[in-house]
């Protein structure tokens, strides 16, 4: 199989490329990435010399890039602006990449007769599941942030292309991922790296917001199964079934690193902050997938990785990130 992965220099995309090249030594992978602040080719060091892997620095919004995908069977679109807090500060880039970028890739898929187009979406498109049942794939879209609204818009485009042009799209909506190589603006890596440096852990609101944490390798396995066995025109939820309050995770990180709870600093809440994400995923379970990594085990692996790879995140935290962080916390 010949696969185009977009956004492959980011957190989940880079894990997926490494996973794919290991599990399927005869597959060819083309990684298309604009290398925004979140793109990092160091994430792909171990595969950069693999003859089945190729990288091109391209923006998915670029209308002239259609020849790039010639000869490829599948497009998997990970490329996105992905951080909710940035979407609150500067939403425009989210609309451009997440909506117009998806539109461009769908147009290319239609014109080039791509066999399968996989859109990497998110459980955030359903909005907050404050109480009651988890959302299923049939639940209405109710996004709260410019990020989730952009992702929901992209999902609607994928579904419309399937209905109108038979473009063979599939949508995957997973819960929050965590693991090595996640950019340290996101909750878990921010809190781990701040704790290592004895810096405050900025906990939003009352710290009782709930997310369902999926270890990134479990998500790679889910995408693999959907790539090979998923039905086009269908949405697949991917849940970890391990919901945790933010404050629980903050305490676990501090406990693991032997740091005092006094590092937790309650800060003003994020505007439009969804209280709880919760989804069911019977559909992918019917394909034979289950989440495997227990949260405490995944968190331990993740903390160890950040402890052992200080160079990776210290370089990030001293560059563009610092400016973002100062803006975010008005320092």
Q: Which of 124, 185, 218, 243 is catalytic?
A: 124
User: If binding is defined by CB under 6 A, does position 204 make contact with ligand TYD?
Assistant: yes
Residue 155 contact among ligand TYD, ligand NAD, none, beta carbon within 5 to 8 Å by kind: none
Binding mask 83-122 toward ligand NAD (x if CB under 6 A, else -) reads: --------------x---x------------------x-x
Could you tell me if 216 and 15 are in contact, meaning their C-beta atoms sit under 8 angstroms apart? yes
Residue 31 found at the interface with ligand NAD (CB under 6 A):
no
| Diameter over CA atoms, the chain | 57
Cα–Cα distance, 13 to 19 (Å, whole number)? 10
Label the pairing between strands 210-212 and 243-245.
Answer: antiparallel
Q: Choosing from 123, 212, 243, 274, which is the catalytic residue?
A: 123
Is 147 a known active-site residue?
Answer: yes
- Of ligand NAD, ligand TYD, none, which one does residue 243 interact with (CB within 5 to 8 Å by kind)? none
Q: Does 276 bind ligand TYD (CB under 6 A)?
A: no
Torsion angle (degrees, nearest 10) of CA 318, 323, 325, 327:
170
Residue 150 engages ligand TYD in binding (rule: CB under 6 A): no
Beta-bridged to residue 215, according to DSSP, are 178
Kindly tell me which of 186 and 283 has the beta carbon lying closer to ligand TYD: 186
190 touches which of ligand TYD, ligand NAD, none (CB within 5 to 8 A by kind)? ligand TYD
Chain residue at closest Cβ approach to ligand NAD: 10
Rule CB under 6 A: say whether 203 interacts with ligand TYD: yes
Q: Which partner from the list ligand NAD, ligand TYD, none does 74 bind, CB cut-off 5 to 8 Å by kind?
A: none
82 vs 263 by CB, closer to ligand NAD: 82
| 176 near ligand NAD, rule: CB under 6 A | yes
- 18 scored as a contact of ligand NAD (CB under 6 A): no
Task: Identify the helix (H) or strand (E) that includes residue 201.
Answer: strand 201-204
Alpha helix ranges (H) inside the chain: 11-23, 84-89, 92-94, 102-112, 146-165, 187-196, 216-229, 246-257, 282-285, 295-308, 310-317, 320-328
Reading the block at residue 198, the tokens are: 């004895």
124 noted as active-site residue: yes
Please confirm, yes or no, whether 73 is among the known catalytic residues.
no
- Separation of alpha carbons 262 and 177, rounded Å: 27
**Residues contacting 26, CB < 8 A, separation 6+:** 52
No. of H helices and E strands in the chain? 12, 13
CA separation for the pair 192, 302 (Å, rounded): 9
242 part of the interface to ligand TYD, by CB under 6 A: no
CB atoms within 10 A of CB 95: 16
Question: In the complex, which residues of this chain contact ligand TYD (CB under 6 A)?
Answer: 84, 124, 176, 186-187, 190, 202-204, 209, 211, 246, 270
Question: In the complex, which residues of this chain contact ligand NAD (CB under 6 A)?
Answer: 6-7, 9-13, 33-36, 38-39, 59-61, 78-82, 97, 101, 120, 122, 151, 174, 176-177, 183
- Which residues are the active-site residues? 123-124, 147
């Amino acid at each position: 199989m010949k696969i185009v992965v977009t956004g492959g220099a980011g957190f989940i995309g880079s894990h997926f490329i490494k996973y794919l090249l290991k599990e399927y030594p005869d597959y060819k992978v083309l990684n298309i990435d604009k290398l925004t602040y979140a793109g990092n080719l160091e994430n792909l060091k171990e595969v950069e010399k693999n003859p089945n892997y190729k990288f091109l620095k391209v923006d998915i919004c670029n209308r002239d890039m259609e020849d790039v995908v010639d000869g490829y069977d599948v497009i998997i679109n990970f490329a996105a602006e992905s951080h909710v807090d940035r979407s609150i500060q500067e939403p425009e880039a989210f609309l451009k990449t997440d909506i117009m970028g998806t539109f461009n890739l769908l147009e290319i898929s239609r014109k080039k007769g791509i066999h399968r187009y996989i859109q990497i979406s998110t459980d955030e498109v359903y909005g907050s599941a404050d109480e009651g049942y988890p959302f299923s794939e049939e639940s209405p879209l109710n996004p709260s942030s410019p990020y989730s609204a952009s992702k929901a818009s992209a999902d609607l485009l994928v579904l419309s292309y399937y209905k109108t042009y038979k473009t063979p799209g599939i949508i995957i909506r997973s819960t929050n991922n965590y693991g090595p190589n996640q950019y340290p603006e996101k909750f878990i890596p921010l809190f781990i790296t701040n704790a290592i440096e004895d810096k405050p852990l900025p906990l939003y609101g009352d710290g009782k917001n709930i997310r369902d944490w999926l270890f990134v390798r479990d998500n790679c396995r889910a995408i693999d199964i959907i790539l090979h066995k998923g039905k086009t025109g269908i949405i697949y939820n991917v849940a970890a079934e391990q919901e945790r309050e933010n404050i629980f995770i903050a305490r676990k990180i501090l406990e693991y690193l032997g740091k005092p709870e006094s590092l937790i600093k309650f800060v003003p809440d994020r505007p439009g902050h969804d209280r709880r994400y919760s989804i069911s995923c019977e559909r992918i379970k019917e394909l034979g997938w289950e989440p495997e990594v227990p949260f405490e085990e995944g968190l331990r692996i993740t903390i160890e990785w950040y402890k052992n790879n200080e160079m990776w995140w210290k370089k990030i935290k001293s560059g563009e990130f610092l400016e973002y962080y100062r803006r975010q916390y008005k320092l």
